[in-house]
Amino acid sequence: MAKKKQPIGPRPVAPKPAPAPATSSVRTAPVRPAESSVRPAATRLAESSASDLPISKRPVAWWPPVLLALLGGVLYVNTFGHQYALDDIAAIGQNLFVKKGFAGIPDLLRTEFWHFSNISLGYYRPLSLITFALEQQYFKDDPNISHMINTGLYALTGLVLGVLLQKWLDRKTIIAFLIGLVFIAHPIHTEIVANIKGRDEILSFLFIGLMLLSYWKHLESAESLWFKGPVADWPLGGLLGLFSVVAGWVIGSSLMVNTFGSTAGGIMGVIIMGALSGSWLGLACASLYFAFLSKESSIVSLALIPAMQYWFARRNVWQSLISLWPFLIVAALFFYQKQKMIGTLSGTPPVDWANYPYKILQTEKSTTFKFLLYYIRLLVLPHPLVYDYSFNVIPSGSKGDIMTWAGFFSLIGLLVLAWRGFVQRTLWGFGIFWFFVTMAPGLGFIWMRGGIFAERFTYAAVMGFAFVLIWALQKLLVRGTAGAEATDGKPVPVRYASLLGLMAVVAGLYSFKTVERNRDWENNFVLFNSALPYAPTSCQVQRHVANEWIEKGLKDRAKADSIANAVNSIKPKPTLEQVKKGQALIDSNIARANKHGRWALDHLQESTRIYPNFGEAYFSMAYVFQKITPNVDSAKYYYKQTIRAANAYAPAYNNLGVIYQGEGFAQNNRQKLELASYYYNRSMIVNPAYVDGQNNRASLLKATGLDVKALPDSILNKY
């Protein structure tokens, strides 16, 4: 690692060049003399130009990428066999287009990410959903396969990072490896890798890495087409090109099916991607497009392209910035596609206390400063880790909050350091720059939307932390490292023994925490209860735990009903002994169901104490009284409380309809049947994609001919 006020790596003193033949058109890589002091900033900023290309090729040792890939895979082996958890259910199990497999891909490319949850956050992330659809096509509902794929993609990320870091840090293999090691082993990544839905984040970062690596290969290449270069470049260029062409067919045939037809659209997609796939620059542009399809926040990676050139290829600022033009075109085309497909760029996010409390409190700005400190703290000490930081785990920032001011001054200090690191081209300066760029979406989520803290926002930012950490430890523990890793004649293991020993401990602790944390993601019951000791003031955690007890209560009730049916089906008729034994089992299961129902209500009451207008918590209360500890009046009351607190929550309308339909048929009461029809229609109005409401409305219409869209208040209030 370079010492302060020195370039990233030494460069041999250049002999006077022999006169080149006048007819030669081959560009040669410039060679600069080694420096021992900092040059004036103006000199450094203008030190290179477009004529510097191609830059000198930098060799890659393959043991670091392979080790990082293996570690990335091994750390998450214990997620194999896990079930769906948290957002997996909404992204996979409840997404009807995903469930269709191949047939659902065109719809996925035209649909907002949370379409079936009746939420419009403006998220257009079809690539991960397409991979889920492919899994459904071949493996159906097998979460084990999904976890294996997430782990494989994470391992591939380690491989790409291992190569990219060595390209950046010329002849600093140990330092490059240790930076990658911190990233791969860091426990904060468990939310992304162990949770299947986190694949959007994995794919986004992976394609950003491939974009940066492909563009670096473009900087190194004297040929415009990658397959005219060294044979060693063919595996990367060929595999990435093949993926691009196949994706071109899938995307083209889906996006243009209504305009040109599936086949013509697919051919157009193949032609476009095939044209891009012939050069490293084209592959970099294609990789950026796939990063966008994974997650729109990949837009921040545009800042990393010039930064990479300025810090590590030593190009000047102007040439680094002007090289962005093809990537800006890709970005413009993607956001045009997004606007055309889902009709919005920003969506209409809900304003609720659970997930957007700081918008309501109007403390978005002060809370952003406060959360910056929390993010930095988790990067340094990733414990405890919690899947949910909803209201009110972290209280709002304010002008009188010391943590808010500490965050503000920390931000100012980091910005000053970032500028100094930029001017001096230091490794730690690049780390701080990377941190700010990749944390921009997470901090912007608070600043712009008043959203909550989330560990997943730090996924890419860990890389910036790794740069700063390894620079600091190298500075402290390794002597004589101004140049490459063996310039003083000492064996590398000897010179780096202290650093390697300490990092073995750090990586060991990180790995242990990662493996332990993975176990919490086994299923919803384990995950939600693991958060309760660390986030008891989260209204969402309390509700989630309650819902798991409700699930257990439902199973107890179902088992009791099954036993009753089994006893009643005994022919010619059950004996007295069989009846007594069956009744004992029924009573036992009902007692367990009631107990689980009471536990659920306890957590739900705590949830509504934290957030009094939490509609989904009232819905769960109503469900307990409808299905576990039957009390129809209480169920009606809490469903109406749900509607009062969250009038767009379709399941509440639907379940009210189910209750009134049952009563209407049992009591031969037409008004209650009209109420049922009315509430089914209301569920479809607030969420047209809500399938249960559609099916129940159609069934009641067929049985009674009722299709009530409006009722007087007198009837609504009567029952």
Place of tokens 């919005």: 344
Average pLDDT value for residue range 660-687: 93
* pLDDT score recorded for residue 462: 97
Amino acid at 24: S
Q: What is the pLDDT of residues 68-99, one digit of tens each?
A: 999 999 999 999 999 999 999 889 988 999 99
Cis peptide before 187 (omega within 30 of 0): no
* pLDDT score recorded for residue 484: 55
Cis peptide before 40 (omega within 30 of 0): no
d(CA 58, CA 694): 61
**For residue 231, what are the contacts with CB-CB under 8 A and spacing of at least 6?**
none
Higher pLDDT, 367 or 343: 367
* pLDDT score recorded for residue 51: 54
> Do the beta carbons of residue 376 and residue 453 sit within 8 Å?
no
3-class DSSP assignment, residue 172: coil
Average pLDDT value for residue range 424-442: 96
Q: What is the DSSP letter of 712?
A: -
d(CA 377, CA 417): 18
- 353 band by pLDDT with thresholds 50, 70 and 90: confident
- 290 band by pLDDT with thresholds 50, 70 and 90: very high
- 32 band by pLDDT with thresholds 50, 70 and 90: very low
- 3 band by pLDDT with thresholds 50, 70 and 90: very low
Place of tokens 């990393």: 304
Q: What is the pLDDT of residues 466-499, one digit of tens each?
A: 999 999 999 999 876 545 555 556 677 788 999 9
Average pLDDT value for residue range 401-427: 96
**For residue 669, what are the contacts with CB-CB under 8 A and spacing of at least 6?**
663
- Percentage helix, strand, coil for the chain under 3-state DSSP, each rounded to 5: 70, 0, 30
Q: Which of 345-349, 501-505, 684-688 is least confident?
A: 345-349
Average pLDDT value for residue range 554-568: 93
pLDDT at 621 over 80: yes
Mean pLDDT of the chain: 89
**For residue 399, what are the contacts with CB-CB under 8 A and spacing of at least 6?**
366
d(CA 75, CA 78): 7
Give the other-Cβ count within 10 Å of 348's Cβ: 10
3-class DSSP assignment, residue 425: coil
Give the other-Cβ count within 10 Å of 1's Cβ: 26
Average pLDDT value for residue range 624-638: 95
* pLDDT score recorded for residue 233: 87
* pLDDT score recorded for residue 115: 82
| N- to C-terminal Cα separation, the chain | 75
* pLDDT score recorded for residue 487: 52
Both tokens of residue 567? Answer: 């006893």
The verdict on pTM exceeding 0.75 is: yes
H-only helix segments in 262-352: 262-276, 280-294, 304-308, 317-322, 325-342
Q: What is the pLDDT of residues 374-394, one digit of tens each?
A: 999 999 999 999 999 998 899
Both tokens of residue 118? Answer: 């009746």
Average pLDDT value for residue range 124-151: 94
Average pLDDT value for residue range 541-560: 96
Average pLDDT value for residue range 655-668: 94
